[in-house]
Amino acid sequence: MRNLVKRKLRAGKPSIGTWISIGHPDVAMYLADLGFDWLVCDMEHGPFGPETYHFMAQAMLYNRESCMPMARIPWVDLIWAKKALDAGATGLVMPRIETAEMARDAVRFMKYPPVGERGAGPRLAAFRDPDYFATANEETLVVVMIETRRGIENIDEIFSVEGVDACFVGPSDLSLDMGIHRQYTHPDFIAALDRIVEAGEEHGVAPGMHCTTAPGPTNINDAIARGFRFCAVNSDVAFLRAGATDALRGIEGWSHLEEAEEPEL
């Protein structure tokens, strides 16, 4: 196993991916072919589990050397972690990390002994990879989500945990927990972003965030300029809706809101 995302982040370069919440292999297959560094399939809020994820990661096999299959699991849990990793995930995004103990659990659940507790049954992950057991501990990407005030308060302790490679900010969740939901230009939210970047630089953890193409602090280019490097831009649903909306708006003289003509009696 060779994780190109890890190499980019260690070199201080941005690594760009996107979020998948539609549980179908075709979505992963088509997005993996476009040039993203990684795709995170969302099993926390997405309506699918390990079985569907297996087929989504399988659909990425053709592009696995250039686009890394990843997953966000619902919680820091050994069973969820090993099922996602065995299905082919090259890294996991662990939600709502608030303490160093939770970060240590995240690392422990993702690594084989003697470092961690992952069991030996990699299935798709080791397909055509005879070196998988020798490389997995080093190459799997551990991403902790910082999405609460408590996570910000304990960020130095969290980022000091050996094995944590990157963090990921969910702007909606973080601002919700801070009592300023979606107020992304609020001074407190901006200060929180700067604190995450500062701590990441100090502890060698790549800062990351879910970004959009809209203006503001969560804009993908603004986030990279601020120091974020593990960045998702939009999502499968956002791309689908944006493409369909643009197509409908391009039809001259048509609107689905127009009332149909009354039939002649």
Q: Which residues are catalytic?
A: 45
- C-alpha dist (Å) from residue 234 to 28, 48, 188, 207, 243: 14, 19, 23, 17, 13
For the chain, the C-alpha Rg in angstroms (whole number) is: 20
Give the span between the Cα atoms of 112 and 249, in whole angstroms.
52
Strand arrangement of the beta sheet that strand 141-145 belongs to: 166-168, 141-145, 91-94, 68-72, 38-42, 15-20, 230-235, 208-211
Q: Which two tokens stand for residue 102?
A: 């939770």
Give the span between the Cα atoms of 25 and 60, in whole angstroms.
8
Closest alpha carbon to 69 in 114, 27, 108: 27
Give the count of alpha carbons within 13 A of 20, CB side only: 27
3-state secondary structure of 18: strand
How many other C-beta atoms can be found within 10 angstroms of the C-beta atom of residue 191? Answer: 11
